[in-house]
A and B are shown apart, each in its own frame.
Chain A
């Protein structure tokens, strides 16, 4: 007879001294853990609820004396950010203590563009007062409170934006034209002009230092119109000199030169050839080395801002006036790679996370949203009751914070992941978070978990605006469908949304 029974001595299975760690034994046999799937599901549900409970993204606000108009990250200091406001005030903020570190006084009008060199030593600003100023950013422990500009350059037109090369010493300003500067010269190294646009924003490509993209607003078009009898009579009386004309799909207001009108009156001609402004909406790509622009893409509505994906530098995303963001591949501009919809009003600014996996947008609908680079809808929406129109947003250089500047004179700091635990995590805490993340990911399709995870509480006006917008798009879609149903088969072709807003591509 051979016999053995389980016999455990206490010494073997417990700790030797009271200050030792407790001994842990594992047995992964599924029979010991009945209903493990149900337990996992309950844990996933709890993880989703905890995410909602800890989802407090707002960290703090910093105040200016006027609406915030532009921002620039300080690439040299994680906690530093340059902020320009409508009253010409430029400040360097310390995000951790939320205090102003330096002031850069000088601008008389609104500061429209701010950029820092890649090493963070110099700052370039430009504004509505037609002046470009260059500043040396003082070292951190210098005692002076305000900084004097190194030099400045006055031009005829107001500036709308400035951006510095990622690698190199050139920077580009935009306004009536695109100017390329370097730090030593006092005049632009090169100027570009394509049509007579007012260029609104400029961004250098992070991968190719000489490539830059701009978005423009205004374009002059010439066309001949036949005025209606009534308008002609009005024009003759001189009571109306401003007319609305339709250029393509855009309505534009044009004032007719009285001289031309006089000529027409003499000749009793009602056909008028006018040169008019049209709200054009182009995105243009330039190479700094060449003298002519490379490509131009015209969309139906204007693009307010552009951001390049830092990890995939051939892709960029355009923040559009129609409330959508359009991601494009630089090599294939006839179609957007992705349309990011959710904002209820114009998207004012956009910035990519340094990881390239997501980007943040600020909108006229008083919200900040975070999108995945390949996601059609936002993963997060931030708002506060006091936040007004958001004019500029930035992702922090460590991808863990989002900064937004808005009409209500405030700069706001948000967490990029609303429920993320900040600070140094113990390995056990880290593991726990990873486990919760995996659970949520595994059960995200189940109705209860999904409902909790995607719910966002919104203030009523924002909620209603979004609902209204949804109704409108739905109505437009229905109308288009009915129009198609009532037309001869094949006479109307539906364009996909990715192509619908593109007017044309110009080489």
Chain B
């Protein structure tokens, strides 16, 4: 018996020991926000149920954190300098190539296709495929794992942007006049004529919505599963090709030439947020995967990091950026001219500083930067083709087979598509705070102050004014008692005025509407027989 007890105690001790300090950070990740406060709850039963549920959440988060080491065995990439002299941003791609294994070094490459350049790129959500669109009409789908071009087509007209739809089986290209959707064999499936000449495309994966901004600053949302136009919004803020989807809440962010950034959802014609971010035109925009951080670049040579919960600047960095992108692990890549800079927040406090630099051949103009999901790779589309460089520590090392599987088979892809369609979200679920879904609408905090309160406040201010009146001694009959009284009344009336005006506005003190009050006090039981007077 005692032996059993001893082993039990030992077990308990072990489980306690297994929760080290750094687990707290991991647990926090899975908790999805703090626990609710039940102190004000009066319903004891409900309180008990909710606190039980809260404890279940805590336990599951703890379990998820604890089993991380078995579920997520792969370690992320890193780049560390030896000693204080060596700096990570001085390390060249050639140096990295020498250190890493062959399969990784294959991810460093340049594809030179000057006749169709510049190129824009897009990756599928699992990073398996890349779509490249040359401005002069070249569209290519590349299998990134085997480095094989899957399909190449020439459309023979300007291509401004390309995006994959739900997976590699479809992609959309914004061409000279219309947007076209192609199948994976490069066969045109649809032509979206009602969107006009589109400058930039984005795909909202959970909603199956293709968002596009055209030459006239019109934002369109096309449901690609049903083929219906969900939203057609005139932004009224001019032509722009700076568009990015916030992956956290599927809100579309637009950067405008006036320096404002606006955020949109398909179901409202007014922007959710309109913020002045720069004094010059906004040249690039990117969202952190956790949705709380936004990076904007302005033509006035500033890159700003914004906290999207408070809509405040966190950090302002000097420099131009033609294009910005956040990686899965939160690295920020900025590209301008032929120079790529990667920033990182080493301390985890959202304080970004230099991590890596990369200079391309002089004369190459970078048009597009994009991190490849689940890999430590940054794709660069530029004026001479496209390139790919290694940025250690940028990608998520552990993938989830049910979310995005880099080793997806054909069958799995089909299954996945069905599940994506089953879980397709209605456009109404796009909102700034997506965690609000399924919660109770909180009561309005500030109730209108009652008539009594307003009157009390008015009296208090009048009293204060009366006490504060301090007549100056003036000469030549201006300090006569009658004058003094008049002055005094004037001051009081002035103090009263704002309150009375407010009341007039609220309609409480309408002079015209005089109530003919001849209400006879009836007992409660007879009140329902009282004749109701028509409002005059």
B167: Cβ under 8 A from any A Cβ: no
Contact A1 B206 (CB under 8 A): no
How would residues 174 to 207 of chain B score, 1 for a CB under 8 Å from any chain A CB and 0 otherwise? 0000000000000000000000000000000010
Residues of B within 8 A of A33 (CB): 403
B71 is contacted by which of A5, A28, A34, A482 (Cβ under 8 Å)?
A28
Q: Is the Cβ of A485 less than 8 Å from the Cβ of B374?
A: no
CB of A39 within 8 A of CB of B423, answer yes
Number of B residues near A (Cβ < 8 Å) is 67
Q: Is the CB of B392 within 8 A of A42?
A: no
Do residues A34 and B407 form an inter-chain contact, with CB atoms below 8 A? no
Is the C-beta of B72 less than 8 angstroms from some C-beta in chain A?
Answer: yes
B392 touches A26 (CB 8 A): no
Q: Assess A1 versus B95: contact at CB under 8 Å? Given A35-B429, A42-B426.
A: yes
A24 adjacent to chain B (CB < 8 Å): yes
- Within 8 Å by CB of A446, from B376, B397, B438, lies B438
Which residues on A sit within 8 Å (CB–CB) of B22?
Answer: none
* CB proximity of B378 to chain A, nearest CB, Å: 11
Verify if B409 is at the interface (C-beta below 8 Å from A).
yes
Q: Which of A1, A24, A32, A42 contacts B396 (CB 8 A)?
A: A32
Q: Are B392 and A5 in contact (CB under 8 A)?
A: yes
B422 closest partner in A (C-beta) = A46
Chain A nearest CB from B121 CB (Å) reads 19
* Cβ-based interface call for B313 (8 A): no
Q: How long is the Cα–Cα vector from A44 to B504 in the complex, in angstroms?
A: 50
B103: CB under 8 A from chain A?
A: yes
CA distance A446 to B436 in the complex (A): 12
Interface centre among A5, A14, A39, A482 (most CB of B within 10 A): A5
Q: From residue B309, how far is it (CB to closest CB) to chain A in Å?
A: 16
Nearest B-chain residue to A481, judged by Cβ = B525
In the complex formed, the residue of B with least CB distance to A442 is B438
Residue B82 at the A interface, CB < 8 A?
yes
Query: How many Å lie between the Cα of A184 and that of B247 in the bound state?
Result: 80
Known: A25-B400, A28-B30, A34-B250. A1 touches B86 (CB 8 A): yes
Compute how far the CA of A38 lies from the CA of B432 in the bound complex, rounded to whole angstroms.
Answer: 13
- Whether the pair A3, B396 counts as a contact (CB closer than 8 A) is no
A32 partner residues in chain B, CB cutoff 8 A: 396, 400, 403-404
User: Is there an interface contact between A2 and B78, defined as CB atoms closer than 8 Å?
Assistant: yes
B503 proximity list for chain A (CB < 8 A): none
A484 nearest in chain B by CB position: B525
CB pair B79 A1 closer than 8 Å? yes
- The A-B contact count (CB < 8 A) is 144
Please, which residues of chain B bring their CB within 8 A of the CB of A23? 401
Residue B425 contacts which of A29, A39, A446 (CB distance < 8 angstroms)? A39
B412 near A7 (CB under 8 angstroms)? Answer: no
What residues on B are CB-neighbors of A13 within 8 Å?
A: 406-407
> Chain B's nearest CB lies how many Å from the CB of A92?
46
- Assembled-state Cα–Cα distance A443/B437 (Å): 10
B435 interface residue, CB < 8 Å from A?
yes
Contact bitstring A2-40, B, C-beta under 8 A = 1, else 0: 111111111001100000001111111111111101111
Residue of A nearest to B31 (CB): A30
CB of B76 closer than 8 Å to a CB of A: yes
User: What B residues does A24 contact at CB under 8 A?
Assistant: 401-402
Specify which chain A residues have a CB less than 8 angstroms from the CB of B398 in the assembled complex: 25, 27
Interchain CA distance A446-B328 in the complex, whole Å: 34
Please pick, from B80, B290, B425, the residue contacting A1 in the complex, using a CB distance under 8 A: B80
Interface string of B247-285 (1 = CB under 8 A from A): 111100000000000000000000000000000000000
Pairwise interchain contact B437-A7, C-beta atoms closer than 8 A: no
Confirm or deny: B81 has a beta carbon within 8 angstroms of a beta carbon on chain A: yes
Q: Do the beta carbons of A34 and B82 come within 8 Å of each other?
A: no
Which residues of A lie under 8 Å from residue B58 when comparing CB positions? Answer: none
On whether the beta carbons of A41 and B395 are closer than 8 Å, the reply is no
B289 in the interface, Cβ–Cβ < 8 Å? yes
The complex places the Cα of A52 from the Cα of B42 at a distance, in Å, of 36
Residues on the B chain within 8 Å of A2, using CB: 78-80, 82
Which residues of the partner chain B approach A8 to less than 8 Å between Cβ atoms? Answer: 74, 406-407
> Given A29-B29, A30-B32, A32-B400, are A7 and B426 also a contact pair (CB < 8 Å)?
no
The reply on B492 being an interface residue by CB < 8 A is no
Q: Which 7 A-B pairs have the closest CB atoms?
A: A38-B429, A485-B525, A5-B376, A27-B400, A5-B77, A2-B80, A27-B398
Q: A6-B104, A25-B399 are in contact. List 19 more A-B contacts (CB 8 A).
A: A1-B79, A3-B79, A5-B376, A5-B392, A8-B74, A13-B406, A14-B407, A22-B409, A23-B401, A25-B398, A25-B401, A26-B400, A27-B398, A31-B328, A34-B250, A35-B206, A39-B425, A42-B426, A43-B422
- What are 22 A-B contacts with C-beta separation under 8 Å? A1-B82, A1-B86, A2-B80, A3-B78, A4-B78, A5-B100, A6-B104, A6-B375, A8-B406, A22-B401, A25-B398, A27-B400, A28-B400, A29-B29, A29-B400, A30-B30, A30-B32, A35-B250, A37-B437, A40-B438, A42-B429, A443-B438
